[in-house]
Amino acid sequence: MSRGLMVGLVLGVMVGTAYGQPNLLTNGSLEVGVDVGTHVELPVGSTGISGWLVIVDPIDYIGTMIPASDGNRCVDLNASPSSGGIAQSFATIPGETYNVSFDLTSNEMTGPAARPVRVQIDGGTIYDYSGVCQP
């Protein structure tokens, strides 16, 4: 099953069956991937972030350009002229409840602005956020 995150500056992602449980995602903090330097653009179809697939428009894989909330890397899903997205699949158990959490902020280079984020599971939206984030 595919789980996707689209739009916004996402600093890390976690999915667990209960708070305090291990993260079910591979590379949830986005720390493992291609060399980024300050940042690098990854095109649709890229697997440059280990465990993740770029699914919508190019994204920026961020290194030293913006501080990450966890570790040293994050993604800017709104780096191209339109909205980007990343996804990965993981096994689930029918009827089980899963907690999805992630850190979100504005790109400090563009300042506070609406930063919508959509979380989808198997193409169905489970969460929409459209608020303003402070960098």
Chain residues that interact with Ca ion, rule: CB under 5 A: 12, 29-30, 68, 70-71, 73
Q: Can you list the alpha helix ranges (DSSP code H) found in 56-108?
A: none
Instruction: Give me the least distance between CB of 10 and Ca ion, in Å please.
Output: 9
Closest to Ca ion by CB, 29 or 78: 29
The sign of the torsion formed by the CA atoms of 104, 25, 48, 128 equals negative
Between 24 and 68, name the residue whose CB sits nearer to Ca ion: 68
Which phi and psi (to 5°) does residue 24 adopt?
Answer: -85, -10
Minimum distance from residue 93 beta carbon to Ca ion (Å) = 27
CB distance 132 to 17 below 8 Å: no
Cβ-based nearer residue to Ca ion, 92 or 103: 103
